[in-house]
Amino acid sequence: MRSTTALRSLQPTARMMFRQSPRMMRPVPKEDQAGHTVSQRLRKLKQIPAELIPLAVVVGFAVLAAGYSSARKFFVDKNLRLSRTGAAGRADH
């Protein structure tokens, strides 16, 4: 008799069974970026706080200046080693 009680405890009960999730009654929300035209995107720019525009200009200028400085360093600096030198470098090429 003890074995049957052990087997009963292994059988799934109503609480352990999987239940189907309830259906949502509201429609699926539209994606925020779906079908935007250029004019709609320009209207969204008005939602950016005015305090962030100068910050964006300064950060953009800093990124451009860093890119220009790095590119100029690669093209102008004669001491910059851009390839291998020595016997090991000459043997590969």
Pair 60, 54: CB distance under 8 Å? no
**What pLDDT shows up at residue 39?**
85
Q: pLDDT, tens digit, for every residue of 4-60?
A: 666 666 665 656 667 777 666 666 666 665 667 888 888 888 888 889 999 999 999
H or E stretch at 41 = helix 38-45
Buried b (16+ CB within 10 A) or exposed e, 39-78: eeeeeeeeeeeeeeeeeeeeeeeeeeeeeeeeeeeeeeee
Pair 32, 40: CB distance under 8 Å? no
